[in-house]
């Protein structure tokens, strides 16, 4: 259980790092809405990591702060590509959370099982969110005007909390 929790600390840290790379890529590419959205996502993932660190230390399991690999920012191609990559990432995180919940339940570790239920719900929300954005490329389009529109939608979404960055404020138009 302890190893799985520590692996999850590393997964959340890697997700935070990866979303930071996406935010930076989007900012450089001129997609301010997408940039502020991913800066906020990055902060959220850091919050997830801290939640697990705090829980582990509270139960005396000793959280280990991991080394983080460099994300593949250079290979991003488009805003749609970022969202697809993010969705795949979230699906992998969901699997890991479910595995942990299984381990906790089998081992009679009901405190950890209960702790993980927040993450189970959060993953449903995260996957739905990225699936919803991906769908917009089918409904709105993939040309310059459409992607600009989607960029604005993303910018308007980041009010969800956990921003905490110096990212440019999203336009309030929407």
- Give the residues lining the site for Fe ion (CB under 5 A): 12, 45, 48, 126
With CB atoms as reference, the residue minimizing the distance to Fe ion is 48
CB closer to Fe ion, 48 vs 157 = 48
CB closer to Fe ion, 12 vs 151 = 12
Contact 48, 122 (CB under 8 A): yes
Q: How many Cβ atoms sit within 10 Å of the Cβ of residue 84?
A: 16
Shortest Å, Cβ 169 to Fe ion: 23
Q: How many Cβ atoms sit within 10 Å of the Cβ of residue 116?
A: 24
Tokens of 163: 């921003």
CB closer to Fe ion, 45 vs 151 = 45
Tokens of 91: 């699906």
Contact 20, 42 (CB under 8 A): yes
- 158: which DSSP letter? G
- Distance (Å, whole) CA 99 – CA 35: 32
CB closer to Fe ion, 24 vs 89 = 89
CB closer to Fe ion, 110 vs 118 = 118
The H-assigned helical ranges of 30-78 are 32-58
- Distance (Å, whole) CA 99 – CA 173: 42
Shortest Å, Cβ 127 to Fe ion: 9
Shortest Å, Cβ 124 to Fe ion: 11
Shortest Å, Cβ 20 to Fe ion: 13
Shortest Å, Cβ 12 to Fe ion: 5
Q: How many Cβ atoms sit within 10 Å of the Cβ of residue 64?
A: 15
């Amino acid at each position: 259980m302890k190893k799985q929790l520590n692996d999850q600390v590393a997964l959340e840290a890697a997700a935070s790092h990866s979303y930071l790379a996406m935010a930076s890529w989007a900012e450089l590419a001129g997609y301010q809405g997408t940039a502020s959205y991913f800066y906020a996502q990055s902060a959220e993932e850091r919050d997830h990591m801290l939640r697990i660190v705090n829980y582990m230390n509270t139960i005396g399991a000793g959280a280990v702060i991991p080394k983080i690999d460099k994300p593949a920012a250079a290979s991003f191609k488009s805003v749609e590509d970022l969202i697809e990559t993010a969705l795949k990432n979230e699906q992998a995180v969901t699997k890991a959370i479910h595995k942990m919940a299984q381990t906790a339940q089998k081992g009679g570790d009901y405190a950890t099982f209960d702790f993980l239920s927040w993450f189970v719900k959060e993953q449903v929300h995260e996957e739905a969110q990225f699936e919803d954005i991906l769908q917009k490329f089918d409904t709105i389009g993939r040309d310059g005007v459409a992607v600009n529109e989607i960029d604005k939608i993303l910018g308007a979404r980041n009010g969800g909390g956990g921003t905490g960055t110096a990212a440019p404020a999203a336009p309030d138009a929407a």
